Amino acid sequence: MRKISLPLTKEIIKTLKPGEQVLLSGAFLTARDAAHKRLTDALKAGKKIPVSLEGETIYYTGPTPAGIDMVIGSCGPTTSARMDPFTPLLLSHGLLAMIGKGERSKETSLAIKRHGAVYFITIGGAGAYLSEKVKSAEIIAYKDLGPEAIYRLEVEDFPVIADIL
């Protein structure tokens, strides 16, 4: 299986094939419904957002809290389609890759292709398995959102399948 280091670039994305299984290593952000709403509300209002999206990968997840001696709890993907209304704006601010589960809307799929970005899927419902791929986790924004806060996760050989690009 092909191994890819993060951050991604448009050049690397061009070499991916739909359906290709890849192992990602490096760091990405997490964000789900509430964080997406806040990010886009701020961008629409012309305000600064607490993270840079340039060349960034967002993983749609809201992990369970880490137990004792653990980096993170269970952290599988959530349904990506709920992020569809927010995705085109984030893409226009430099977002390059998303990881989640399930189909995307037609509009979002077109926006992903137009921006030369990529949408990966990973194993839905395998949060315990995926937690073993996470080497460090840190909340970097919107801490008040609890499980919906934005984390930076460092991962090693995180399994994904290229779905839309």
| Minimum CB–partner distance for residue 148 and another protein (Å) | 8
What is the radius of gyration, based on Cα positions, of the chain?
A: 15
Binding to another protein by residue 112, rule CB under 8 A?
no
Site string for another protein, 137-156 (x = CB under 8 A): --------xxxx--------
Shortest CA distance to 132 belongs to which of 77, 89, 80, 73? 73
Q: Which amino acid is at 36?
A: H
Q: Which of residues 5-64 bind another protein (CB under 8 A)?
A: 19, 21, 34, 61-64
When the beta carbons of 116 and 126 are compared against another protein, the nearer one is: 126
Cα four-point dihedral sign 78, 82, 37, 28: positive
Q: Which stretch binds another protein (CB under 8 A): 7-15, 49-57, 76-84, 134-142?
A: 76-84
Which structure tokens are listed for 144? Answer: 């008040």
Q: Which of 131, 141, 160, 162 binds another protein (CB under 8 A)?
A: 131
- CA distance readout (Å), 159 to 12, 97, 145: 17, 14, 27
Q: Which stretch binds another protein (CB under 8 A): 50-58, 95-103, 109-117, 150-158?
A: 95-103
Give the position of tokens 């986790």.
137
When the beta carbons of 20 and 154 are compared against another protein, the nearer one is: 20
Binding to another protein by residue 109, rule CB under 8 A?
no
Measured CA to CA, the distance from residue 85 to residue 50 in angstroms comes to 20
Buried b / exposed e over 26-39, threshold 16 CB at 10 Å, is ebbbbbbbbbbbbb
Q: Which of 89, 102, 109, 135 binds another protein (CB under 8 A)?
A: 102
**Which residues make up the interface to another protein (CB under 8 A)?**
19, 21, 34, 61-67, 70, 73-76, 78-79, 81, 101-103, 121, 123-132, 145-148, 159, 161
